[in-house]
């Protein structure tokens, strides 16, 4: 079961957010050999998506990132996002999902 977590990304700014993954008992989530991926879409029917840079470190720390130039190219508003984890045996789990709000930038450099 995925965790529902809304995020805010400032247009034109570097975005980075980390979470420590734990199992239902509060123990570190085993991510050995797993890969992760994530993206945003304007809605579920949208044919275009924007990738989130998703990494795992220290065994169970999940980090979501977006470069400033990528966020600058996005239209402000609400998007849907999710992050999936693929285990070595091919099983896919959705770790995170929610609404990603892109707030508008006023200053452009």
**Residue found by looking up tokens 């966020």 in the block:** 71
The mean pLDDT value for 50-59 works out to 92
Q: Would you list the DSSP string of the chain?
A: -PEE--EEEETTS-EEEEEE-B-TTSPBP--TT-EEEEEEESSTT-S--EEEEEEEETTTEEEEEE-HHHHHTSPSEEEEEEEEEE-TTS-EEEEEEEEEEEEPPS---
Nearest alpha-carbon partner for 55 in 32, 67, 37:
37
pLDDT value, residue 13: 95
More confident residue, 3 or 69: 69
User: Which residues contact residue 45 at a Cβ distance below 8 angstroms, ignoring those fewer than 6 apart?
Assistant: none
Global pTM?
A: 0.89
Domains defined for the chain, CATH in brackets: 3-103 (2.60.40.10)
Residues 10-54 have pLDDT tens digits of 999 999 999 998 888 888 888 889 999 999 999 999 999 999 999
């Amino acid at each position: 079961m995925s965790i529902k977590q809304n995020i805010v990304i400032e247009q034109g700014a570097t975005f980075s957010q980390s979470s420590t993954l734990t199992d239902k008992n509060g123990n570190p989530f085993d991510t050995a050999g797993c890969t992760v991926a994530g993206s945003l879409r304007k809605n579920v029917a949208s044919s275009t998506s924007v990738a989130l840079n998703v990494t795992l470190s220290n065994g169970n720390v999940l980090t979501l990132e977006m470069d400033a130039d990528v966020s600058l190219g996005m239209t402000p508003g609400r998007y849907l996002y999710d992050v999936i984890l693929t285990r070595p045996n091919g099983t896919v789990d959705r770790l995170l999902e929610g609404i990603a709000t892109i707030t508008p930038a006023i200053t452009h450099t």
